């Protein structure tokens, strides 16, 4: 194997799971490459304040935490390749990872590609991304200071987005297809206290109105069938996440929702292939559970190499 392109471990994805795996594996003496298409930190980079990751008594912004995780792993020799993973061959030995920056070989692989935002799937949605349609209020909310926006969704993320935007924007419509939100009691109560949030329950988004930018959305009340057009500057779609597992679907066992089936030992159906973080089928997806998975996956990758 060419030493410049072959590693004991290649970690796919540079979020908290990926960089924790890299830290543990590099400290254990493995040669490690992390392949990440964007900046370090994964989904954490989309939030300005993380308050439930231990060790930061005043909270920490996600971008800085991602950078710290990358630096922490690289301090022990892990390398980062900024590239998009295009295809993988995981059943062979060595395993082959093809990227837009070349091909890399690995004795073991940890899949930590996380999860992305679910889209509504409406006509013109993709072309309006960045032109009024967004998926991350923490990232793009500031562009809508003093403006009229909507949040679509009813879970904790949608509630958090609506609250964040209510502090920045003039008016925030909260559109949910059911008659109650799935968000927790604390979030629901906070939403009720915000006097610039207008609730539109039992309603679905039917269409986007736009010229060059989004100008509004048409919503439909499920009970009455009535439609209404809201004039808006932006809409944030917050209806959940999808695992980034398209690359693996013919090789790794996946759940119905597309998450990788691996137990708490992070072992997948293929020898030498492990899965860590939000991409793994599990009940609770958080930074602490992602870093936990990363450490466990590195432990078993090291054990696999020792046994081999
Ligand atoms: C707005 C927001 C706020 C959040 N707030 C909190 C919070 O306060 N506390 C908390 O505990 N959790 C929070 N979370 C959840 C937390 O960020 C995730 O649980 C965590 O980031 C999962 O880590 P991960 O490493 O498994 O995956 P991710 O963070 O999703 O990282 C996966 C990485 O893989 C990369 N990748 C995927 N496919 C490819 C490819 N083909 N090629 C190259 N790279 C690829 C992605 O670019 C990404 O960087 C928040 C999430 C969001 C979106």
Mark whether 123 and 112 lie in a shared domain.
no
According to the model, what pLDDT value does residue 21 have? 99
Is residue 139 part of the annotated active site? The answer reads yes
220: in domain: yes
Helix (H) or strand (E) holding 146: none
17: in domain: yes
Mark whether 50 and 100 lie in a shared domain.
yes
Q: Is 16 in the pocket of ligand 1 (CB under 6 A)?
A: yes
Mark whether 206 and 157 lie in a shared domain.
yes
Mark whether 252 and 228 lie in a shared domain.
no
CB 276 within 8 A of CB 110: yes
189: in domain: yes
According to the model, what pLDDT value does residue 30 have? 98
The verdict on pTM exceeding 0.75 is yes
Total domain count for the chain? 2
132: in domain: yes
Mark whether 199 and 265 lie in a shared domain.
no
Mark whether 132 and 230 lie in a shared domain.
yes
86: in domain: yes
Which is the closest atom of ligand 1 to the Cα of 38? 47
32: in domain: yes
**Cα(43) to centroid of ligand 1, in Å?**
3
Mark whether 124 and 228 lie in a shared domain.
yes
The tens-digit pLDDT sequence of the chain (308 residues) is 455 689 999 999 999 999 999 999 999 999 999 999 999 999 888 777 788 899 999 999 999 999 999 999 999 999 999 999 999 999 999 999 999 999 999 999 999 999 988 999 999 998 998 899 988 887 678 889 999 999 999 998 899 999 999 999 999 999 999 999 988 888 899 999 999 999 999 999 999 999 999 999 999 999 999 999 999 999 999 998 889 999 999 999 999 989 999 999 999 999 999 999 999 999 888 899 999 999 999 999 999 999 98
- CATH number of the domain encompassing residue 254: 3.50.50.60
Which residue segment(s) compose the domain that 130 sits in? Answer: 119-237
According to the model, what pLDDT value does residue 139 have? 67
Residue matched to tokens 């920056």: 101
Q: Is 48 in the pocket of ligand 1 (CB under 6 A)?
A: no
Q: Is 161 in the pocket of ligand 1 (CB under 6 A)?
A: no
76: in domain: yes
Mark whether 167 and 31 lie in a shared domain.
no
Mark whether 217 and 137 lie in a shared domain.
yes
**Cα(115) to centroid of ligand 1, in Å?**
6
Given 181, 208, 237, which residue is the final one in a domain? 237
Mark whether 60 and 161 lie in a shared domain.
no
Q: Which of 245, 207, 203, 47 is nearest to 135 (CA)?
A: 47
Given 237, 257, 272, which residue is the final one in a domain? 237
Residues 6+ apart with CB under 8 A from 132: 208, 210, 213, 214, 215, 232, 233, 234, 235
Mark whether 68 and 152 lie in a shared domain.
no
1: in domain: no
According to the model, what pLDDT value does residue 4 have? 62
Mark whether 153 and 225 lie in a shared domain.
yes
Q: Is 35 in the pocket of ligand 1 (CB under 6 A)?
A: yes
Which protein residue's CA is at the shortest distance from atom 19 of ligand 1?
A: 286
Cα-Cα-Cα-Cα torsion 295, 297, 302, 304, nearest 10 degrees, comes to 160
Given 218, 237, 256, which residue is the final one in a domain? 237
According to the model, what pLDDT value does residue 140 have? 78
CB 296 within 8 A of CB 22: no
């Amino acid at each position: 194997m060419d030493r410049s392109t072959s590693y004991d471990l290649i970690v796919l994805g540079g979020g908290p799971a990926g960089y924790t795996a890299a830290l543990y594996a590099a400290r254990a003496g493995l040669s490690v490459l992390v392949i990440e298409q964007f900046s370090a930190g994964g989904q954490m980079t989309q939030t300005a304040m993380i308050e439930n990751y231990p060790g930061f008594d005043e909270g920490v912004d996600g971008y800085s935490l991602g950078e710290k995780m990358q630096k922490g792993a690289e301090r022990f020799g892990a390398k980062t390749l900024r590239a998009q993973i295009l295809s993988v061959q995981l059943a062979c030995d060595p395993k082959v990872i093809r990227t837009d920056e070349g091909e890399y070989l690995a004795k073991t692989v940890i899949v930590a590609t996380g999860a992305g935002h679910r889209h509504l799937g409406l006509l013109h949605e993709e072309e309006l991304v960045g032109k009024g349609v967004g998926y991350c209020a923490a990232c793009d909310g500031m562009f809508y200071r003093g403006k009229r926006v909507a949040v679509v969704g009813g879970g904790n993320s949608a509630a958090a987005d609506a609250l964040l935007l209510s502090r920045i924007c003039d008016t925030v419509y909260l559109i949910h297809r059911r008659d109650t939100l799935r968000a927790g009691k604390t979030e629901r109560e906070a939403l009720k206290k915000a006097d610039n949030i207008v609730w539109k329950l039992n309603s679905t988004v039917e269409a986007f109105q736009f010229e060059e930018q989004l100008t509004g959305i048409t919503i439909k009340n499920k009970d009455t069938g009535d439609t209404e057009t809201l004039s808006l500057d932006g809409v944030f779609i917050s209806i959940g996440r999808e695992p980034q597992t398209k690359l693996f679907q013919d090789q790794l066992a996946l759940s119905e929702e597309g998450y990788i089936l691996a137990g708490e030992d992070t072992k997948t159906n293929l020898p030498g292939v492990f899965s860590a973080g939000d991409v793994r089928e599990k009940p609770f997806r958080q930074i602490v559970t992602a870093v936990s998975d990363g450490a466990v996956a590195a432990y078993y990758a090291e054990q696999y190499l020792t046994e081999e």
